[in-house]
């Protein structure tokens, strides 16, 4: 098994790199587990304001799970459930990361790679990026946690089209399906992803975390509790709110402190 997940920091923006370029950044089980671990660590770090997730190189974001290890990792349902728990924990970590997460997508974003991208908050891809989940040709089912991200992102009909047909399609179609937020020239993907991350990082970090938390909560069918309703007004008691509106009145750029 090869590959790992690298972590880099530049100021308040963290970058996670799926690093297995020889296999188009296909994820081994240790990579799935490390991605969840480092995502949890960044989520707990209040000095982080945005996370960018990318694949190593420019050939692929991630070409799914590493099928070469399936013979000994997913040979039967018992093994597959253990493997699946690792995948589910990681997808949940990405979804619940307190900070906004941007997927920077070059090249192939298929199978497990698309499942990962679907759990990010924004997705920026290049014009030559390719998408799909061709598991029908493997006799492999997307487990509930894996399919949920696509259903939440683009609805039941599109998610079933992706799973049932197993086509690999281009960036234009991905944009039409609602899978990506922006399609840019291939040589501008990194620039645009980090420009987006910088815009997020310049805002009030508590506000970004609340917006992500509230959007996730609104995807759940249960009615809001009074405490949840009240939390949507908690920002008015923060120092960042006072900094923000005073800077606006003074026509200055606010310097938020995250408290």
Question: Among 183, 200, 217, where does a domain finish?
Answer: 200
Distance CA 6, CA 18 (A): 7
Do 69 and 160 reside in the same domain of the chain? yes
Domain presence at residue 254 = no
Tokens 């009074």 belong to which residue? 226
Do 183 and 233 reside in the same domain of the chain? no
Order of all β-strands in the sheet with 130-132: 60-63, 108-110, 130-132, 169-170
Domain presence at residue 83 = yes
Q: Identify the pLDDT of residue 82.
A: 87
What value does the mean pLDDT of the chain take? 92
* Residue ranges making up the domain that contains 211: 204-249
Residue 2 binned pLDDT confidence (cut-offs 50, 70, 90): confident
Average of pLDDT values for 124-136? Answer: 95
Do 101 and 163 reside in the same domain of the chain? yes
In contact, 153 and 123? CB cutoff 8 Å: no
Structural domains of the chain, count: 2
Side-chain half-sphere exposure of 35, counting CA atoms within 13 A: 39
* 210 has pLDDT over 60: yes
In contact, 112 and 27? CB cutoff 8 Å: yes
Average of pLDDT values for 1-23? Answer: 92
Residue 65 binned pLDDT confidence (cut-offs 50, 70, 90): confident
DSSP 8-state assignment for residue 11 = T
Domain presence at residue 26 = yes
Distance CA 197, CA 204 (A): 13
Q: Identify the pLDDT of residue 155.
A: 94
Do 51 and 141 reside in the same domain of the chain? yes
Average of pLDDT values for 168-183? Answer: 96
Looking up residue 131, the CATH number of its domain turns out to be 3.90.226.10
Domain presence at residue 44 = yes
Q: What angle do CA 100, 102, 106 make, to 5 degrees?
A: 175
Domain presence at residue 23 = yes
Do 165 and 244 reside in the same domain of the chain? no
The better pLDDT of the pair 126, 74 is held by: 126
Residue of 193, 152, 163 lying closest to 61 (CA atoms) = 193
In tens, the pLDDT along 69-120 reads 777 777 788 888 888 899 999 999 999 999 999 999 999 999 999 999 999 9
Do 101 and 52 reside in the same domain of the chain? yes
Do 80 and 11 reside in the same domain of the chain? yes
In tens, the pLDDT along 132-148 reads 999 888 888 899 999 99
- Residue 4: its H or E element: strand 4-10
Q: What angle do CA 236, 242, 246 make, to 5 degrees?
A: 135
Do 217 and 120 reside in the same domain of the chain? no
Side-chain half-sphere exposure of 193, counting CA atoms within 13 A: 29
Residue 67 binned pLDDT confidence (cut-offs 50, 70, 90): confident
Do 161 and 40 reside in the same domain of the chain? yes
Do 180 and 227 reside in the same domain of the chain? no
Do 8 and 124 reside in the same domain of the chain? yes
* 14 has pLDDT over 80: yes
Domain presence at residue 27 = yes
Domain presence at residue 42 = yes
Distance CA 216, CA 197 (A): 20
pTM, to two decimals: 0.92
Q: Identify the pLDDT of residue 56.
A: 95
* 1 has pLDDT over 60: no
Q: Identify the pLDDT of residue 32.
A: 93
Domain presence at residue 259 = no
Do 187 and 88 reside in the same domain of the chain? yes
Question: Among 159, 181, 200, where does a domain finish?
Answer: 200
Q: Identify the pLDDT of residue 254.
A: 87
């Amino acid at each position: 098994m090869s590959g790992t997940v690298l972590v880099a920091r530049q100021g308040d923006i963290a970058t996670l790199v799926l690093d297995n370029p020889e296999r188009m950044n296909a994820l081994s089980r240790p990579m799935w587990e490390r991605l969840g671990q480092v995502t949890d660590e960044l989520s707990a770090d209040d000095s982080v304001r945005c996370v960018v997730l990318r694949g190593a190189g420019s050939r692929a974001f991630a070409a799914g799970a590493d099928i070469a290890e399936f013979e000994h990792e997913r040979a039967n349902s018992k093994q597959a459930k253990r493997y699946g728990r690792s995948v589910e924990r990681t997808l949940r970590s990405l979804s619940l990361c307190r900070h906004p997460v941007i997927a920077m997508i070059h090249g192939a974003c298929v199978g497990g790679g698309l499942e990962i991208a679907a759990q990010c908050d924004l997705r920026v891809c290049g014009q030559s990026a390719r998408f799909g989940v061709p598991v029908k040709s493997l006799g492999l089912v997307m487990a509930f946690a894996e399919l949920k991200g696509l259903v939440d992102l683009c609805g039941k009909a599109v998610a079933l089209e992706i799973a049932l047909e197993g086509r690999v399609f281009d960036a234009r179609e991905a944009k039409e399906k609602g899978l990506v937020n922006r399609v840019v020239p291939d040589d501008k993907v990194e620039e645009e992803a980090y420009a987006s991350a910088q815009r997020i990082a310049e805002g009030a970090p508590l506000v970004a975390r609340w917006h992500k938390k509230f959007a996730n909560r609104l995807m759940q069918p249960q009615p809001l509790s009074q405490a949840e309703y009240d939390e949507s007004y908690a920002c008015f008691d923060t120092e960042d709110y006072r900094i923000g509106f005073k800077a606006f009145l003074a026509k200055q750029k606010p310097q938020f402190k995250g408290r």
